[in-house]
Structure 1
Amino acid sequence: MSDAWQTVDIDSDIDSARSRHTGRRSAVTVTGNHVVVGTAVGTVVAYDRWTLEERWRVESDAEAAVVSIASFADSVVVGERSATGAIRAHDLDTGTVRWQYAAATDVGEPRKRTRFFLPFVVDLVTDDVRVYAAVRRYERDDERRSFSSAVYAFDADGAIAWIHETDASPISVAVRDDRVAVAYNRCPGEHDSGLVVLDAEDGMIRYRWDPPADGQRRVGDVSLLDTGAVVTSHADHRGYRIGPDGMEWGVALAIPTEIDGETVYAYPNHVHATHDGAVFVTGNTYPEVGRETTVLHPEEHTAIGVSPDGSREWSASVGGFATELATAADRVAVPSAQQFRTRDPGVHGLSVFNVATDTITSHQTTGIATAVALNSETIAAVEEPVVYHEEDQRRGAYRLLVGSL
């Protein structure tokens, strides 16, 4: 990666992030000629990929955050966390809205206008034919928690080809060839499968799989291969390769470990798999009892490389919490936000890994890096300002960073 980074301020006066993570509120994608950013106030802005001159801007007339984004042919598709759970396609050259859909029509309107209760477009992925979107809405009534969710296949004109609805919480979607894989994390209702693989043409279920452990938490992420899929299991803190006939291999990641008399673990939150292997990325340390701990799991906030047969090959720290991954062929870009237990600003930044051979490069940021995008030549990231609760200093700014690979 080049040492030269370009930056541009994102014109939004957002509140600083705090010590703990409060969910996604920004998104970014790289296209042929543009870098497009979705902001915490619902604005979508397209910049020239090389000069970072602003090409167009579409303001939001609703209280919303753009939390998902994907390029599709000559459009860019965005998904909101908002009262309507809007999914919109913008013309890539002008920003004109080509089509839009309110997912709240299917998942329901929020019972409260607070962030956790708003319909949330958790993921958008595309192939040459369609856009696939996963949306969820959360409810809580006293001690009862529930979800309503939908996975959509949109044609190029915005027409809905199919919908797959459940009472579980989707967390990521992957598409490859004729398959769409959906990872479901929390399953408090009738739906009881952490992984569901659908037919891309008609949305029919091809097969299901669930981690071999009890609990409401199931799968954290999914990546499709030519045959089968690789997933992260929140149920038992492992990674698995899954085929139509079930599990082909499993690997221990940040499994419960006793340190100084306390048992702690970390969730494996992300995965990217290719024919050369897979990269898993873990999250925060949690104790088995309660929420607070004075020790850290040795494999929290870690990228772990695994061979095609499931053997661990390498590991490297990513510093802080990774909200998402960006991938391009055998490369994986990981943004690093807060390490909320130590609150060390030195971990903020970006790392780029090769699936088979460990770290390629890294870059430190002043604020927290939250959203990231990648292609064969360019990496783009959104930096957000942060103020840790033990100090008054505002670190970083709301800005776009673009570098060359």
Structure 2
Amino acid sequence: MDQVRRAVEGILTRWPDVVRTPDDRDRERLALEMLRRTSDWNWDGITTQRIISAAVAVFDEDRRMRSDLAPVRDFYLSEIETREPGAFLDGMVGVYVDSFSEGALHTHALAKALAQRADDLGSRHRKLHEAVTGLFRPGDAPGELAHRMTEAENSYEELKRIGLSRPHTSGLARAAQRIFLSRLAPDLAEPTARRKLFNWLTPEHGSVLQSGAGQAVEALLAVWRDCTPPDALRNELCEAIIAGWNDPRLHSGGIWSGFDPTLKAVLLRWLTHQDMKFFCNMVTATQNSHMWAPRRDFWLKLYDDKMIDEAWVAFGSDARLYAQQHLVRSGKTDMNCRFGRQLDRGSSTSLLIMRIGNKIVVDGCHSYRTHIFRLDDKKAPKLYARDYYCDDIMRVSRNAKSHSSIPSWSQWVLQHV
């Protein structure tokens, strides 16, 4: 039987879905068609696949409680009780799993009906039922599934192995995810727990989780609310978060729209520090000037003294290449989104743009002067822009100083910020 089992596994892997999930724009039409057919009891020209696709619409979040569709829901529950084993019964297990909501009436109704037919399920859902014996007990199923997720090294692959073809979109998996996260959260300072979390959030063979990801990233940052991780870990976490859910300085939607502001502030502090370190490390490695080291130490001390509120880097072309090869270790980092570009002077100059209180401060590598603008100055360069022109900044600046005397320069900066 091994050859037969392997053939079955191959088929299930290539065609994981029992039923096609209808597009949102088609769902109302499908639901009303089923209402008409159940009322007229006319089944001419309809397939089992279409009936199951309609079930997805009837039991989705927008329609599961609609009173006018009650006869259609009753039809599906009746058919679960009487229909022979096969595509319909297996399809309804998929509808139950995907539309699962622990306290919802439709979930309990589907669970009760399907529990009576557990012995008639096809191989995929029989396998899932064997792995999660409380599958048709809505109060138990999420906890059992969360236990498997917690015990597995790679929960995403584990859920696919036991029969959930789309773990991130399943309502049952989303319910289990909350429990899974609560169990991992106290240990997220440890590499093992973080690895398990990221295996779920950003699977190697799947899309990055979006629904519920905000709570997961909050839990990841909450560990470091009152302390700071080592630089290497801080950089790794910053790059992983930005790669998965965009830079919160550039994007306000997605997980960032309802994000805990105190935890978002933690990430923003990390990003400010990271961008300053990227700039400083790049200049240290590529510029041989005795005047750079004290400038670097001055800026980093201002950050340590909590004077620098925000920072953004605009790399020239050579510096961007250096940063990609030596500073940004994550292969997922999009350099075009992660940093700005400095385009004047043949892109040889790189800029560090900072907000210090109500001032915008621009410093550059080589002999580029430091420029200070008031935040409300319309000519002040904006943080987080894509492109910068260092000569244009220099021309509109009315408050600038060279680094020819470091003590005089540093005193000037402190006086004007």
TM exceeding 0.5? no
Larger CA Rg, structure 1 vs 2: 2
- TM-score, length basis structure 1: 0.25
Higher relative contact order (CA 8 A, sep 6+): 1
Larger proportion of helix: 2
Larger proportion of strand: 1
